[in-house]
Amino acid sequence: MTAKTLGRNLEILEKYRKYTDIAELRVDCLDPDERLLIRRFPEQAGIPVILTIRRDIDGGLFVGGEGARISLMARGLAYAEADRRRNFAYLDIEEDLNVSSLEEAARTFGTRIIRSYHNIKGTDADLPVKIRSMRRSGDEIVKVAVMANSTRDVLELLCAGKECEGYEKILISMGHFGIYSRILSEQFDSLFSYCGALSESDTLPAAPGQIEIRELANLYRFRNITRATKVYGVTGYPLKATSSPSFFNTVFELEGSNAVYVPFPADSITDLIDIAKELNVEGISVTVPYKEAIIPFLDFQSDEVGVIGACNTLTLTPQGWLGTNTDAKGFSDSLLKFLNKSNFKRQRVTVIGAGGAARSVVFELHRLGAKVLVLNRTVHKARRLAAPYKFAWGGLDEQGIEKMEKYRDIIIQTTSAGMEGINPDNLSDDPAAMYNFCGQEEVMDLVYKPKMTAFLKRASNAGCNVLNGFDMLIRQARYQYTQFTGKEFPEHFLSRVQFGEF
Ligand code: ATR
């Protein structure tokens, strides 16, 4: 609870009560006058409350001296009542704060001590030693919240948690890399996760990487996650926005599966694979930029992965990691449905781009009988993609565009030009601006955000039928679901599945 007044904190607590097990009152975020009135907060809140006065060096807002902070803590504990529900349930005391009178007072009146350590810059090297040595007595709960600057940092915390199994502790990897440590508390052997009412305009994230409370409760179904919960996720970098958690978690909820799907942002695919092993992850969706880099980690793979050279789906099997590619089938299913066809025979097709996405597209076009021209900004990549299939190639230049005359039944845009979130100027990018649509072409853009790229708008204005990549996204996710779970996708849920962003 990081609002400026106690009244406002109570208001927010009321609104989110059904998602809240314990409230942490961040006294350092309160206006100075309000800080003097904290004693009655637990009674007013009506649920267990943690008293925390976080210093600025630990990521909080308290800038006064230690004397002032200690007397505020004492004020919170003073006049303890026999009915413990009227006292603070927990007191957060940093590991370097030595005030035995405060600790004694807390213990006497049943307030449990959370002995905390924060490192807002990085992850310490000696975490197991730290966890074991922090408690001053056996009844304290250890809290270690450290900034993850890499996937390896999260791995360190996860392994430290396992090594110190049995210690009551709270472990958090702060920042974007550590987001799943806030969801998979059980797997990290952590007692609590902290989240915030972040959609309230006056509520600050109490620490970097914190998740919005309803998202943690509803999307990830935090309260249902146990060690028996099957864990899936999506990896990529930077992985700032992905719709996959929303898709898979909604399906898992609708069908009543004890499973969760989390984002795994990763700066190292090697470390991510180690994390997946430690967390017993059963399936991973792989996205930009790891669809090729993941291949050496596979224990075996489908034929498509071998030919396409890109893998977007990892499934744990008794024989190890199986790599498959659901982008390819997702693409062809979507386009064939749109065209009301069962194959691409006699179709002359231009593919714009020669990156990872184009490779899946060209593989499917070949498999289903199309004649293809590949055009790419960097010509040699177009040739490298097209030549093994004996397809035509060219650059995105005058000569290349001229070649399109003979390959324009279908035009497929596979580059990230025009995609939201690449850069602000990108939205107006049209990779084939020199090409004039005649209006008869069937045009697909793999981009789905925005719904209409500059390229697709131009095609539509010329009278072409146009299709964006959203339907393909859903189709490839459905194949992924089947790959992960061994079950048919429950089609009757499809209308209720959302593709929000985390
Ligand atoms: P993906 O897996 O999304 O296909 P990729 O493998 O990095 O990503 O490939 C990106 C593709 O988009 C490439 O074909 C790239 O062209 P280059 O090979 O010349 O780099 C293409 N691309 C990206 N931005 C582009 C732009 N603004 N105009 C034209 N092509 C672009």
CA 470 → CA 151, 249, 316, distances in Å?
A: 30, 18, 27
pLDDT of the residue at 206: 82
Yes or no: say if 422 and 397 are a contact pair by the CB < 8 Å rule. no
Looking from the CA of residue 289, the nearest atom of ligand 1 is 2
The number of angstroms, rounded, from the C-alpha of 261 to the middle of its chain's C-alpha atoms is 9
pLDDT for 495 beyond 90: no
Q: What mean pLDDT is predicted for residues 291-302?
A: 96
Distance (Å) from CA 399 to ligand 1 centroid: 19
Per-residue confidence (pLDDT) for residue 462, from 0 to 100: 98
Q: For 210-227, what is each residue's pLDDT tens digit?
A: 999 999 999 999 999 999
Give the mean model confidence (pLDDT) for residues 349-366.
96
The pair of three-digit structure tokens given for residue 493, joined into one six-digit string: 């849920």
CA 145/CA 193 separation, integer angstroms: 11
Tell me if 325 CB under 6 Å of ligand 1. no
Ligand 1 pocket check for 449: Cβ under 6 Å: no
Does residue 283 surpass a pLDDT of 60? yes
Name the residue type at position 50: I
Report the nearest-CA residue for atom 12 of ligand 1.
415
Q: How confident is the model at residue 501 (pLDDT cuts 50, 70, 90)?
A: low
Residue 42 has pLDDT above 70, yes or no: yes
122/307 Cα distance (integer angstroms):
41
Given a cut of 80, whether residue 423 has pLDDT beyond it is no
Taking the C-alpha atoms of residue 502 and residue 500, their distance in angstroms, rounded to an integer, is 7
Residue 465, pLDDT above cutoff 90: yes
Closest protein CA for atom 16 of ligand 1: 377
Tens digits of per-residue pLDDT, 175-214?
999 999 999 999 999 999 999 999 999 888 888 999 999 9
260-284: average pLDDT: 98
For ligand 1, is residue 356 a contact (CB within 6 Å)?
yes
Cβ–Cβ under 8 Å, residues 437 and 404: no
Number of H helices, E strands in the chain: 17, 20
Report pLDDT for 302.
97
Cα separation of 293 and 298, whole Å? 10
* Phi/psi at 216 (5° precision): -65, -40
Q: How far apart are CA 304 and CA 325, in angstroms?
A: 7
From the CB of 385, is ligand 1 less than 6 Å away? no
Could you tell me the pLDDT band of residue 419, with boundaries at 50, 70 and 90?
confident
Percentage of the chain lying above the pLDDT 90 cut: 91
Half-sphere exposure of 496 (CA within 13 A, CB side): 11
DSSP string, 134-194: H-SSTTPEEEEEEE-SSHHHHHHHHHHHHHTTTS-EEEEEESGGGGGGGT-TTTTT-S---
**Cα 400 off chain centre by:** 39
Instruction: Tell me the average pLDDT across 29-51.
Output: 97
User: Which residues, at least 6 apart from 247, have a Cβ–Cβ distance to it below 8 Å?
Assistant: 474, 477, 497, 498, 499
C-alpha 84/C-alpha 37 separation (Å) is 18
Q: What is the mean pLDDT of the chain?
A: 95
Measured distance between the N- and C-terminal CA atoms of the chain, rounded to whole angstroms: 22
* Euclidean distance between CA atoms 78 and 84, whole angstroms: 13
Burial of 319 by CB count in 10 Å (0-12 exposed, 13-18 middle, 19+ buried)? exposed
Least confident of 133-142, 231-240, 487-496: 487-496
Nearest CA to ligand 1 atom 29: 431
pLDDT at 502 exceeding the cut of 60: no
Banded pLDDT at 166 (limits 50, 70, 90) = confident
**From the CB of residue 110, how many other CB atoms can be counted at a distance below 10 Å?**
13
The residues assigned a catalytic role are: 291
Instruction: Decide: helix, strand or coil at residue 493.
Output: helix
Ranges of H-type helices in 191-286: 213-214, 244-255, 269-278
Task: Kindly give the distance from the C-alpha atom of residue 434 to the centroid of ligand 1, in angstroms, as a whole number.
Answer: 17
Give the tokens for residue 280. Answer: 């017993």
Pairing of strands 320-324, 313-317: antiparallel
Q: Is the CB of 381 under 6 A from ligand 1?
A: yes
> Two tokens at 390?
């004996």
CA neighbours within 13 Å on the CB side: how many for 139?
Answer: 11
Dist. CA 206–CA 15, nearest whole Å? 18
Q: Is 378 in the pocket of ligand 1 (CB under 6 A)?
A: yes
326-349 burial, b at 16+ Cβ within 10 Å, e below that, comes to bbbbbbbbbbeebbeeeebeebbb
Q: pLDDT tens across 310-336, in order?
A: 999 999 999 999 999 999 999 999 999
474-481 average pLDDT score: 96
pLDDT tens per residue across span 333-353: 999 999 999 999 999 999 999
Cα–Cα nearest to 227, from 278, 175, 193: 278
